[in-house]
Structure 1
Amino acid sequence: MIRPLYPRHVLFAAFALALPFASPITTQAAPAARQQTQVPGFYRMAVGELEVTALYDGYVDLGTNLLKGASAEDIQSLLARMFIESGKGMQTAVNAYLVNTGKRLVLVDTGSSKCFGPTLGGILGNLKAAGYQPEQVDSVLLTHLHPDHACGLLDAEGKQAFANATVFVAQDEAGFWLNPEAAAKAPADSKAFFEMAQKAVAPYQAAGKLKTYSTGDALVEGVSAAPSPGHTPGHTGYLFSSGGQELLVWGDVVHSHATQFAHPDIAIEFDVDNAKAIASRKQVFAAAAKDKLWVAGAHLPFPGFGHVRSEGEGKGYAWVPAEFGPIRSDR
């Protein structure tokens, strides 16, 4: 028998020591491509027995010069506290809300469709991503008739986006935007708003599916109108109640969360009546804080669910956004 020149354990040790110095045989992986798309824009929460889905239409950058009621320096200071850089404008979300009551499928506001630029118009796509189809919506409640809330009544071809829905709008709102005399007297830079509102509701009106209502009129079961005029003449929120919980979908009570919670006296250029809009905002804030309502806002950071907290007498309010989490009805 021929014995090895070195004991076996010595050879193994020598081989192991040599491994780190050996040239590894590897294949260089290609760099991972960057992903340029965001997740679908929907988020769900429960309010009692209601399933409420926030739908993201997109965003628009609003100039800080549109805010009124405080000095430019004070406004910029409030924006800086929220890390909004000077000169870059305010990235402002446009949201709508889909409520499944178990019997009805109710959509509050419809987004902007094709009325504004490419950063908006995502409601229909996000509604489908959320597991629903437009034809399943049976009621559309409009907070007001501005184009970023009403233009989504139409699809890309200008037809009814919600073929089986009845559209509800406050009488004071319809009486203003759908009034030919008011449109004729409007300033030149506002005429397009009248035209877009009238075009958006026209097919529903022709089909007998546009319903106007006055305060106190019955709407959808479990929903009551909460008028908050000023931003527009008939601007209205909707209060949903179920299982001892309440959600106020408040439309355009707030456009700039960074400034208007802390200083409700700050108005925005789009308000038809600044004084009324400010009074409505203060009233809504006080009620939401006192009653600990869930609220949902069309221009709050998506998904726009949360609470309003009072900071004390004369110290304004704060926005408390909802935490991401599972759909729970016990909160």
Structure 2
Amino acid sequence: MVKSEAPGFHRLMIGDCEVTVLSDGHLPLAAMKLLQGDSSQIAEALKRNFLGEQVETSHNSFLVNTGTKLVLIDAGAGTLLGPHTGQLLNNLRAAGYRPEQVDEIYLTHMHADHIGGLIAGDQRAFPNAIVRADKRDTDYWLNEENMRAAPTEAKRFFQAAMVSVSPYMRAGQLKTFDGITDLIPGVRAQPAYGHTPGHTMYVVESKGEKLLAWGDIVHVAAVQFADPTVTIGYDVDSAEAKQEHWRIFEDAAKNGYLIGGAHLPFPGLGHVRSNGDKAYAFVPLNSLL
């Protein structure tokens, strides 16, 4: 028995931009414990989709090559979440790139599974990259007072953010933005606050084609598309996160653009379809992997 997996990357074109989805690995998510909503309906949705209380969850990042800039959207978990994640660097190399080639890193938010891969040991894993994030997230997660005031079980989120981002801060390579921001030609930051104070999506557009890399809008597709009211225990503001579900699902279904999710089944690409009154469905991209 080989007991190893093939390199996890998938490539597609968005107009003139080459997008490579990089798998950082996968982890079981305690869906029944963490999802917040009608527990009986959540259990039924899981059963209907042949899932149990633990759902194996993909961790996806998106590498965007515009031809002039190489941009990584989220950096994976690094060593923070154990041996089943932290595969981003290996998969980046397998996809034909090197970490030192990455010009910029855009963070959807500063949870451990999106920032731990910024460092290798205590050094910058991407030595030439500028790291960008919404200032609401940096102000929240890099604040010592917020960490001291947080419940004991939540302090690790602050510690992970501080450890992962500090080498870039010391090098002057952390830059913040505020809300909707054109970052480079073809890539725009778009707020989707709620999951964290500065949770941000990134719009990649070229030649009339569009990909929305939406970060952690959805954690369990089998449940949350059909019932957008379901949130997750990791949401900092669950009421705001719920409103973002409605807003983004409606817009994506109406306009038909491609979405990329950090925790949708790898490669995390597809479309959102309206599925009756106040319900939606995820349609995975029809492509050869």
Shorter-chain TM-score tier: over 0.9
**1:216 & 1:193 partners in 2: Cα distance?**
25
Runs of 4 or more off by more than 4 Å in structure 1?
A: none
Deviation at 1:77, TM superposition (A): 0.9
The correspondence of residues 196-211 of structure 1 with structure 2, limited to 5 A, is 196-211=160-175
**1:304 has 2:271 as partner:** no
For 1:128, the equivalent position in structure 2 comes to 93
Give the SS at the match of 1:106: strand
**1:51 & 1:218 partners in 2: Cα distance?**
19
**2:286 & 2:165 partners in 1: Cα distance?**
36
Q: After superposition, what is the alpha-carbon deviation per residue over 1:24-48, rounded to whole angstroms, capped at 9, x for unaligned?
A: xxxxxxxxxx432221100011111
**1:101 & 1:217 partners in 2: Cα distance?**
17
Structure 1: unaligned runs, 5 residues or longer: 1-33, 327-331
The correspondence of residues 246-325 of structure 1 with structure 2, limited to 5 A, is 246-314=210-278, 316-325=279-288
* Between structures 1 and 2, the one with greater strand share: 2
**2:216 & 2:270 partners in 1: Cα distance?**
15
Deviation at 1:218, TM superposition (A): 3.4
For 1:170, the equivalent position in structure 2 comes to 134
For 2:189, the equivalent position in structure 1 comes to 225
> Would you say the 8 A contact 2:180–2:190 is kept in 1?
no
**1:288 & 1:255 partners in 2: Cα distance?**
17
Deviation at 1:276, TM superposition (A): 0.5
Q: After superposition, what is the alpha-carbon deviation per residue over 1:91-150, rounded to whole angstroms, capped at 9, x for unaligned?
A: 111110001111110000000000011111100000000000000000000000000001
Q: After superposition, what is the alpha-carbon deviation per residue over 1:143-165, rounded to whole angstroms, capped at 9, x for unaligned?
A: 0000000111001x221010110
**1:68 has 2:36 as partner:** yes
Give the SS at the match of 2:227: coil
**1:51 has 2:15 as partner:** no
For 1:35, the equivalent position in structure 2 comes to 2
**2:215 & 2:203 partners in 1: Cα distance?**
11
Aligned counterpart for 1:184 among listed residues 139, 144, 148: 148
**1:112 & 1:279 partners in 2: Cα distance?**
27
> Would you say the 8 A contact 1:228–1:281 is kept in 2?
no
> Would you say the 8 A contact 2:60–2:266 is kept in 1?
yes
**1:81 has 2:45 as partner:** no
Q: After superposition, what is the alpha-carbon deviation per residue over 1:164-219, rounded to whole angstroms, capped at 9, x for unaligned?
A: 10000001111100111111111111111101101111011011100010124331
Structure 2: unaligned runs, 5 residues or longer: none
**1:96 has 2:54 as partner:** no
> Would you say the 8 A contact 2:180–2:191 is kept in 1?
no
**1:127 & 1:181 partners in 2: Cα distance?**
36
In structure 2, give the amino acid aligned to 1:57: D
Alignment: residue pair count: 288
> Would you say the 8 A contact 1:225–1:238 is kept in 2?
yes
In structure 2, give the amino acid aligned to 1:70: D
Bigger Rg, which one: 1
> Would you say the 8 A contact 1:250–1:297 is kept in 2?
yes
Deviation at 1:267, TM superposition (A): 0.8
For 1:12, the equivalent position in structure 2 comes to none
**2:210 & 2:181 partners in 1: Cα distance?**
19
> Would you say the 8 A contact 1:112–1:152 is kept in 2?
yes
The correspondence of residues 6-45 of structure 1 with structure 2, limited to 5 A, is 34-45=1-12
**1:164 & 1:320 partners in 2: Cα distance?**
37
> Would you say the 8 A contact 1:271–1:277 is kept in 2?
yes
**2:252 & 2:191 partners in 1: Cα distance?**
14
Aligned counterpart for 2:103 among listed residues 103, 116, 138: 138
Task: Quote the RMSD (CA, aligned, Å).
Answer: 1.1
